[in-house]
Amino acid sequence: MAKKTTVSVVGCGLIGASWAALFLRAGHDVRAWDPDPQSLGGFRDRVATPLAQLEQIGASTAAQGVLHLSADLADALEGARLVQENAPENVPLKQDLYARIEALVAQDVIIASSTSAHPWSHLSVGMKHPDRLITAHPFNPPHLVPLVEIFGTDDAVVAWAEAFYSGIGSAPVTLKKEAVGHIANRLASALWREAVHIVAEGIADVDAVDKALVNGPGLRWSVLGAHMAYHLGGGAGGMAGYLDHLGASQEKRWASLGNPSLTPDVREKLVNGVMAEAAGRSIAELEAERDAALIALAKQRLKSD
């Protein structure tokens, strides 16, 4: 467990609510702010669901932290050691927000952006103390999917963030060099590009692609990364053996991968295909099914630890 601290959650949407639940469950106090009174007003109720899910998992034994809502940014930042920013993916908006935050907090307060794509160098422009900024991208929903992708330029700040996110039960990974989309979204985008290509070319429909992924490599990837999976695929020779014997075959597959365009026809295939796969289930119902499965996996992971 990380030492109890105060975290300011700036931006009270879906990601902000999930973060807040995770922080609270780990015993940290949360001070939340959003410029939209409606988002702020409904925040406590939105945090309740992920908190209840974390309770099901039993991921922490710490005394739950206190949630404080504030319509005033300065009040929301009071006493914070970490500011978890979850504003819309608009770089000028984020830069303006950082300027406001820097004017209100001490120099050692860390600002962590949940940005899913923007690199640190774009976000830090204009900051008085850019070394305090890190990108700390979670995978949705953060309270059920432990990944946090970190990039920063100050080693001490990054080390503190790694320890903090580890202490709340997340699984931080640190980038050596910034990249648009960080690590996981680049991997996900590469996978989906080929999934779209398969549908666009008529190789298989949406449902078949998703079933193939969930019942094949998806199971393996839940316990092994891509590199380690191929290391085991090389048998006794490991990765070196795989590259020697099957490297050329892998390059042929890479060469055959597609680069689809989201034309009206392809969009129609994707929309119709996913609606058929959903089989009448609403977004809320699909989210509930996803979360139930993630909770079951989290329980199993906790048990195995």
Q: What are the structural domains of the chain? A: 6-174 (3.40.50.720), 184-304 (1.10.1040.10)
**pLDDT of res. 155:** 98
**pLDDT of res. 59:** 65
Mean pLDDT, 10 residues at a time, over the chain (305 residues)? 87 96 96 96 96 86 90 97 97 98 97 96 97 97 96 98 96 97 96 97 97 95 92 94 94 95 97 96 95 90 76
Q: Counting every residue, how long is the chain?
A: 305
**pLDDT of res. 61:** 64
Question: How would you classify the pairing of strands 147-151 and 133-138?
Answer: antiparallel
Three-state secondary structure string covering 13-53: CHHHHHHHHHHHHCCCEEEEECCCHHHHHCHHHHHHHHHHH
Reported as type and span, the H/E element at residue 69 is: strand 67-70
pTM over 0.75, yes/no: yes
User: Could you count the other beta carbons within 10 Å of the beta carbon of residue 206?
Assistant: 20
SS3 149: strand
